[in-house]
Amino acid sequence: MNKKTIITILLALAAVAAQAQEPFFCTDSAVVRGRIVDYSPAMGFQNLTAQVTDIFTGELKTATAEIREDGTFEKRLLLHHPILNWFYTSEIYISKQQVPFYLCPGDTLDITICFHDGDVPACIYGGGHSAEVARLLKVRNDHLSLLKLCRFFEGDIEAYNAFADSLYSAWQQKLDALADTHHFTSFERRLAQCNMAAVFGTAYLSYFSHIQDKMAQNDPAAPYTAGNAMMERLSLPETYPLLRRLPNNDSLMLASKFFQLYLNALEFSAPLRYPLFVKRGIAWGSSRDEVTEQLSLLRDTGRRLFASENDVLPIQLLQLHCINEAIGEWLEAGTAEEDFRSTQSFLTHPTLQKKAQQILNEQADMDATLPLPEGDAAHFVKDILALYPGRYIVLDFWAMWCAPCKAEIRATKEFRHRLHERSDVKFVFLANERNPNREDYLAFVRENLKGEENIAIDDNRFHQLQELFGFNAIPFNVTLTPDGRIVRDGLLLCAAEAGYDRFILMLEEMKARLE
């Protein structure tokens, strides 16, 4: 028996033992605090930012730690399980400036960080669990190159699967060598394997999604059309043999920052989507029958996809997301309790069962508005509200690098001009712009936002507002009441595409609901 086989067996046994003993799911706050040695704002950033996914809801949240003048920082996070993640500076594109950490619910982690002119920062960990995996945290891998190798592979499916199988084995060997060189503990080996599996699963599935993307370039309806021979081939679970090599039942995979990307890739993969597209088209409802049909597809196809007699953890999470997305409509229809009970047999994982019930209870008790949290970012928002007393304010976040943002602003220019006559609603545009004096930005504003409220905000303010309102992608809209509360299900600029009269009807319905 060779070394690779022995290590694989030991890791599998460790995972089984850990699942039996380890209370992996545990909801508690955790604190990350520390100091940047010789910090100065001249370094080009004023905060550290991490993006943390709630795997129960799929919601990606931004956590921003503002750096004080003396280089210290502190951030409290709410966790449901351990996470392997990193903070990055506001210069997000400088990957070397990532500050990795491993954090468990209840931890208080101290990090001392030293940046060296573009080099990977040196980190010293104290408290919490990061110190226990410090050897792993020092190792950096080029995940982007792996994604490119898989997504843009030139060859048919058989050739790609052979390539991906050998590539996965090569990466395992590379990881084993790194583990030996850096003297990883058995837990570090397991964590590294699970992190690599999440990365590789995402990269592996990207080849198949690229086939669909190329197909849609020629015919946008092709990936959703019955009788498409390639889509029928891609929808066969047996087309994806490598997925069976991944440790999908090891809960530690969920710790990886890349796990949500893997889960998203699975959710939109042909085996789990195409059969529904063929039957329903792209418009899906949330009736009990439709949700049950989707849950059944996830269960039956998932077991074939992973060659498992039971539902692996990623499939269980996708089933939870499916139920979560339907709860709102069930509550509106007054059938939530009955509809919810009909789906519970699909969730066999005890923690996910409890979480689904908790989400139902929370949504049932949810108010139509939320208070604006306190903090510097909230004061900034309140200053905007003060400019337009008595109005509902719709904040629109955009940037010059965001093509959909600019397209939406251009397309709704005439619509917004008609809104000027109203005294009850106002769009305020917030541009994530580091240099508000550059000519292309000013030219766009002159052409498309003349006479409107447009405020340029730097990266620091943008990250603060991301955390305040809980968004990670733009364009993004949030509606605020005249007294400064956040409206759930507020107005959207894209809704203007339905026409001015329809938008005004939505506005009046919202006001009636809230007032």
d(CA 280, CA 225) in angstroms, rounded, equals 10
pLDDT at 515: 76
Contacts of 361 by beta carbon, 8 Å cutoff, 6+ apart: none
Supply the pTM of this predicted model: 0.80
pLDDT at 284: 66
Tell me which residue of 244, 246, 243 sits closest to 205, measured CA to CA: 243
- The CATH fold of domain 370-514: Glutaredoxin (3.40.30)
- For the chain, what are the domain ranges? 21-139, 141-275, 284-366, 370-514
pLDDT at 20: 36
pLDDT at 281: 66
Q: Domain spanning 21-139: which CATH class is it, in words? A: mainly beta
The reply to whether domains 21-139 and 370-514 share a CATH topology is: no
d(CA 53, CA 79) in angstroms, rounded, equals 9
pLDDT at 280: 74
Tell me which residue of 307, 472, 474, 340 sits closest to 395, measured CA to CA: 474
Answer positive or negative: Cα dihedral of 399, 404, 407, 412.
Answer: negative
Task: Dig out the tokens for 340 from the structure.
Answer: 């919810």
Residue 99 phi, psi (nearest 5):
-115, 100
Contacts of 503 by beta carbon, 8 Å cutoff, 6+ apart: 415, 491, 495, 496
Contacts of 426 by beta carbon, 8 Å cutoff, 6+ apart: 388, 391, 392, 393, 394, 419, 453
pLDDT in tens, the chain (515 residues): 555 455 444 444 444 444 433 479 999 999 999 999 999 988 888 889 898 999 998 888 888 899 999 999 999 999 999 999 999 885 544 455 689 999 999 999 999 999 876 556 889 999 899 999 999 998 877 777 888 899 999 999 999 999 999 999 999 999 999 999 999 999 999 999 999 999 999 999 999 999 998 888 888 777 878 888 999 999 999 999 999 999 999 999 999 999 999 999 999 899 998 988 887 765 567 889 999 999 999 999 999 999 999 999 999 999 999 999 899 889 888 999 999 999 989 999 999 999 999 999 988 888 888 899 888 899 999 999 999 999 999 999 999 999 889 999 998 999 999 988 899 999 999 999 989 999 999 999 999 999 999 999 998 899 889 889 988 788 999 999 999 999 988 888 887 777 888 889 989 989 988 87
Tell me which residue of 328, 366, 321, 371 sits closest to 346, measured CA to CA: 321
Answer positive or negative: Cα dihedral of 410, 416, 418, 421.
Answer: negative
Residues linked to residue 476 through DSSP beta bridges, in sequence order: 397
